[in-house]
Structure 1
Amino acid sequence: MYTVDLVQLIEKMNLENLTPDIDIKRIKITQPDVNRPALQLAGFFDHFDSERVQVIGYVEHAYMQTLAEEKRLEIVSRLLDYKVPCIVFCRNLEVSDKFIKLATEKEVPILRSSKTTSSFMAEVIRWLNVELAPRITIHGVLVDVYGEGILIMGESGIGKSEAALELIKRGHRLVADDVVEIKKVSDETLIGTATEITRHFIELRGIGIVDVKTLFGVESVKNTQAIDLVIKLEEWNKDKEYDRMGLEEQYIEFLGNKVVCHSIPIRPGRNLAIICETAAVNHRQKKMGYNAAQEIYKRVTHKIQKNSQKRVM
């Protein structure tokens, strides 16, 4: 299970801390979802997920104002007893001194945001889904080619980094070399990034470590990228039959998500950078509804049918 420090949330969302006496450095967030405690403020705590960030908007705030002060403090005290990670008031809503005092006593941080409730919740959920996403680390190179995330895989020394360097010189952007951390942010999306240590660096055998950002500029690197296509480099095997049409897509699976995968045999003289560029453009074309392999298959089929009809006539 991954966690996010509450301090990170405060800094990311630019939140105001109304309870500065509480030590927030020890508080961790473990759930990507948030909760608006409307039912809890009404006294219903069944199935209450106290591990979520609690968000109070205009509706919850207005409801609390209708309660008598004694009743309001009683229900707030009960909510705070669950030791929620924090309570965030949106729209810069006023928070009473008694509420803050009670939260300080029970060591539950009270935060405030100027954003509207809906936009704040959407932004927090999106960010937490990325930060708390399940992840794996693999050996490979991730490059942004024409907006498509190309993950180049293969045995050590086969030429992954050299291909990436050539792509960078052709105007594309490096995301990660050697070690790629993959996060599953949804059932359809995988996000790749580099580790802090290796970010923006490439290792070239015989030369050593190269700082891509320094040599080629900030436009040549990128911190994160969705993985759209996998290219597996392998030594040429004359006894193996390789796909020459591409009618059927091959897939590789990461964290339960399938990604289109092409196996590219390596022989002297093959330009890997151009192959990667062509694969990226072809993949984008397929996503836009055009498949060259299917188009030539239709032409051949149509030609055969046409010739058959001529013979019959």
Structure 2
Amino acid sequence: MTESVTVADLVKANRLEIYAGEDDLDRQITTSDISRPGLELTGYFNYYPAKRIQLLGITETSFAKGMGHDKLVDVMTKMCQPETPAFVISTQLDPPEELTTSAEAAHIPILRTKLTTSRVLSNMTNFLEGKLAERQSVHGVLVDIYGVGVMITGDSGVGKSETALELVKRGHRLIADDRVEVYQQDEQTLVGAAPAILSHLLEIRGIGIIDVMNLFGAGAVRSEVDIDLIVHLELWHDDSHFDRLGNNTESQRFFDVVVPKINIPVKTGRNLAIIIEAAAMNFRARSMGYDATKVFDDNLKRLIKQNANKS
């Protein structure tokens, strides 16, 4: 589900200064696209993206200073549409008086920052894309293990939350339990977070709800993390077949991002926390170029070749 974002959220997340319109920060932002109104300053409004945040930098404010008062009033009035969420002025510049007057009349806030136009554009875009991205709710547990975002999935009662608790005790960090809100940040990055109502909470059957941050400290939790690996817990059956060498790599797609997936059998006596911890470390080693399966294959080929030469 797409979250709603207000101008107040934008101000808080990006540490923007409220230059004018402090009483109008509840205006809704519906798109992550940000406009730099260059053509509009020349009077071209055929394709004016009024729903976007309007960002003015040195170029736009300098051009505005060279315009006549009447012309500038006309342009700024047209830019202040009912659906326009806010104006942002970069580099600690002062907005034109004509903009201030028109924005106040339309109840549109004017924000300001000392950052350059490129920097504030990047910061606001990243924030809005994360907040406004399409979300998918997934049944599972998300844990940060040595910097690797591991989502643990499996049938209800298989031991996901208990495993997460053991991982937290081993020094890793909990992001979400039971439900993981998943969204695509870019073409290669999938991010997971906890629903607000479940943040920092963990359910253990027989105990109930526990607050991980309260019991283990602020270092035991994170608000969100990139999902790098999916570990699926599956009850052990005699007729089940599980990968023993690591040759059969599975994956699962969320939106446009494909995430590698491994299946781990659950059986009495197996320490799932240590196994998942090892899986995360092995994934990290592979990402850095070391593949234990390839090393084993190379050793096996070398041994076969040696035995063939002896014969």
Question: TM-score normalized by structure 2?
Answer: 0.93
Q: Contact (CA 8 Å) 1:34, 1:125: kept in 2 or not?
A: yes
Shift of 1:49: 2.2
Alpha-carbon distance between aligned partners in 2 of 1:272 and 1:163, rounded to the nearest angstrom: 6
Shift of 1:83: 4.0
Verify: 1:111 aligned to 2:124, yes or no. Answer: no
Match of 1:190 in 2: 190
Alpha-carbon distance between aligned partners in 1 of 2:71 and 2:244, rounded to the nearest angstrom: 74
Alpha-carbon distance between aligned partners in 1 of 2:75 and 2:302, rounded to the nearest angstrom: 74
User: In terms of mean alpha carbon deviation, does 194-203 or 157-166 score higher?
Assistant: 194-203
Match of 1:125 in 2: 125
Question: Deviations along 1:20-60, whole A, 9 cap, x unmatched?
Answer: 376332x2111112111112212233433222111000011
Alpha-carbon distance between aligned partners in 1 of 2:123 and 2:282, rounded to the nearest angstrom: 33
1:141-290 alignment, distance < 5 Å: 141-290=141-290
Alpha-carbon distance between aligned partners in 1 of 2:207 and 2:196, rounded to the nearest angstrom: 22
Q: Contact (CA 8 Å) 2:21, 2:107: kept in 1 or not?
A: no
Shift of 1:267: 1.0
Question: TM-score normalized by structure 1?
Answer: 0.93
Question: Deviations along 1:130-176, whole A, 9 cap, x unmatched?
Answer: 11111111111111111111111111111111111111111111111
Q: Contact (CA 8 Å) 1:135, 1:255: kept in 2 or not?
A: no
Q: Contact (CA 8 Å) 1:144, 1:225: kept in 2 or not?
A: yes
Identity of aligned residues (%): 38
Shift of 1:14: 2.7
Alpha-carbon distance between aligned partners in 2 of 1:263 and 1:302, rounded to the nearest angstrom: 30
Q: Contact (CA 8 Å) 1:22, 1:108: kept in 2 or not?
A: no
Alpha-carbon distance between aligned partners in 2 of 1:272 and 1:81, rounded to the nearest angstrom: 57
| Residue type of the alignment partner of 2:290 | Y
Shift of 1:253: 1.6
Shift of 1:108: 2.8
Alpha-carbon distance between aligned partners in 1 of 2:299 and 2:22, rounded to the nearest angstrom: 74
Q: Contact (CA 8 Å) 2:64, 2:96: kept in 1 or not?
A: no
Shift of 1:302: 3.2
1:64-103 alignment, distance < 5 Å: 64-81=64-81, 83-103=83-103
| Residue type of the alignment partner of 2:14 | M
Question: Deviations along 1:188-225, whole A, 9 cap, x unmatched?
Answer: 11111112222212111112222221222222111111
Alpha-carbon distance between aligned partners in 2 of 1:201 and 1:55, rounded to the nearest angstrom: 39
| Residue type of the alignment partner of 2:10 | L
Q: Which stretches in structure 2 are left out of the alignment for 5+ residues?
A: none
Alpha-carbon distance between aligned partners in 2 of 1:142 and 1:91, rounded to the nearest angstrom: 39
User: How big is the alpha-carbon RMSD for the aligned residues of Structure 1 and Structure 2?
Assistant: 1.8
Instruction: Name the SS for the 2:290 alignment partner.
Output: coil
| Residue type of the alignment partner of 1:128 | L
Instruction: Name the SS for the 1:40 alignment partner.
Output: helix
Distance 1:159 1:43, change over 3 A: same
Alpha-carbon distance between aligned partners in 1 of 2:215 and 2:110, rounded to the nearest angstrom: 46
| Residue type of the alignment partner of 2:103 | A
Match of 1:13 in 2: 14
Question: How many corresponding residue pairs?
Answer: 310
Shift of 1:282: 0.3
Q: Contact (CA 8 Å) 1:21, 1:104: kept in 2 or not?
A: no
Alpha-carbon distance between aligned partners in 1 of 2:3 and 2:217, rounded to the nearest angstrom: 33
Shift of 1:306: 4.2
Instruction: Name the SS for the 1:258 alignment partner.
Output: strand
Alpha-carbon distance between aligned partners in 1 of 2:169 and 2:3, rounded to the nearest angstrom: 37
User: In terms of mean alpha carbon deviation, does 116-125 or 38-47 score higher?
Assistant: 38-47
Q: Contact (CA 8 Å) 1:22, 1:104: kept in 2 or not?
A: no
Instruction: Name the SS for the 1:32 alignment partner.
Output: coil
Q: Which stretches in structure 1 are left out of the alignment for 5+ residues?
A: none
Q: Contact (CA 8 Å) 2:146, 2:280: kept in 1 or not?
A: yes
Q: Contact (CA 8 Å) 1:55, 1:90: kept in 2 or not?
A: yes
